[in-house]
Amino acid sequence: MGKSIMFQGTASNVGKSLLTAGFCRVFKQDGLRVIPFKSQNMALNSFITEEGLEMGRAQVFQAEAAGIKPSARMNPILLKPTSDQGSQVIVNGKVYGNMTAREYHEFKPQLAEMIKAHYESLSREYDVVAIEGAGSPAEINLRDKDIVNMGMAEIADSPVILIADIDKGGVFASILGTIMLLREEERARVKGVIINKFRGDRSILEPGIKMLEDLIKIPVLGVVPYTYLKVEDEDSLTSRFYQTVGKNNAIDIAIIHLPHISNFTDFNMLEIQEDVQLRYIRRGEKIGIPDLVILPGSKNTLADLAYLKESGLDIELHKLHAQGILIMGICGGYQILGEKIADPYGVEGHMKEAYGLGLLPIETTFEGEKVTTQVEGTICKDLPGLLSAVTSTKVKGYEIHMGVTKMAKEAKPLMTFTKRLGQTINELEGTCNEAGNVFGTYLHGIFDEANFTRNLLNAIRVKKGLEAVENSIVSFEAFKQGEYDKLAQVLREHVDMVAIYDILGVTKK
């Protein structure tokens, strides 16, 4: 059996996912077979595996850092919030059903044996299982049925490293408070503390670290500096929604921050383009006059469509359309751009149907079965407008949606799918309008294809009177691998790796 080490946090968004990925990279570099594991993830960012199973994105980028393919076994339970009180519950990559928070809390003990079986199978196959917790182990109201923090540590009999975020302030109080709220046997599992996102002179921090260690009797194993790495972060708590990336750059891209936004990782490739300014339009903000507007995926498309109409953003989008501004929709955003959305079975709630924005000649009907698949394809030939720049481009990614969308006879398909889950197919997908300034697709990850992204951006540049530029990022995958190496180096420089290996009980190969 392999060894395990668990990374828990004093709160959500302290950097557990990122640091777990970093340690996966370090272990891989040191010759160990390592796999990430998170028993329960709550996230609207998800991914579809080669088997057509759905899992959280955090374990996907951790798997990338570990040098292995993502598998739903790494994240056997995924909760996708549909409201403030309920979530879609995904077990072993497939939809189990919708539950309220209370219903799921009562359901959790039934999942413990399944989680244990998954962990033990991974432990037999790998040298190290790097386990990530969720939220905080000090959520004492959830302790009796916990399966993701100390409950998971008990299942795996795993040592725990506690991670705290100093950037928020109150880091010493959060660490001490967390330790004090743990039971004695839980406290004994905590073998070290890492302070994350530090800015400044560490020597000024040292007296506080010494006082903390005297109080909790647990060593601080490292102080990790605030590091700007262009890799994925922790779901909807991300700070990216509140900042503009690449201010004053040549191409202005506006993404509508829908209340139920999902899979915003679709836009990571856009964020790292040197000539792109990317900003999220939140409630109360104006879109302005960007070069490209994107309606992203949504976990509740009808509610987000209602939000666009209530906020007046629908009027702004129609005005931009009239000016010839390029508008794109992905997944739920694609459905919203259509003429009508029907929900006869109440998949999303009580609303049976609604008129969309009417910018694409499509209609969508929600059905009970969820589409989860990996696909490959080619952009169609002879597309109009700016889309002519991406014709015949190869693309690939994945689909996650409940709706079936039908195009009107006059609609122009965007692409042809040629493979689904490795099987050869020939299927039209996506839609664009006659002018080529509105288009939509179910394909998540379309921007990860460097040629598609650069060709589209260059078409926008030429329209603005700018010269086209060469693609500085030939492969998004290669770019990410470089970022994981940077993250591993940061951990080697600022964390006591000798102590980590001692806690893990594994010798470097």
Q: H or E segment at 230?
A: none
Collapse the DSSP code of 327 into the 3-class scheme (helix H, G, I; strand E, B; otherwise coil) and give the result.
Answer: strand
Neighbouring CB atoms inside 10 A of 88's CB total 20
Backbone angles phi, psi at 358, to 5 degrees: 70, 25
Catalytic residue, chosen from 24, 260, 331, 432, is: 331
Residue 183: enclosing H or E segment and its boundaries? none
Catalytic residue among 257, 260, 401, 444: 444
> What's the number of CA atoms in the CB half-sphere (13 Å) around residue 272?
22
User: Is the Cβ–Cβ distance between 415 and 378 less than 8 Å?
Assistant: yes
The one-letter amino acid at 21: A
In 124-169, which ranges are E strands? 128-132, 160-165
How many residues in total does the chain contain? Answer: 509
Cβ-contact 289, 323 below 8 angstroms: yes
- CA distance linking residue 22 with residue 62, whole number of Å: 8
Beta strands at 326-330 and 292-295: parallel, antiparallel or unpaired: parallel
Given CA atoms 34, 39, 42, 44 in this order, what sign does their dihedral have? positive
Closest CA to 160 of 182, 134, 201, 131: 131
Q: Beta-carbon neighbour count of residue 229 at 10 Å?
A: 16
What SS3 class is residue 440? strand
Is 331 designated active site? yes
24 is catalytic: no
- Residues noted as catalytic: 331, 444
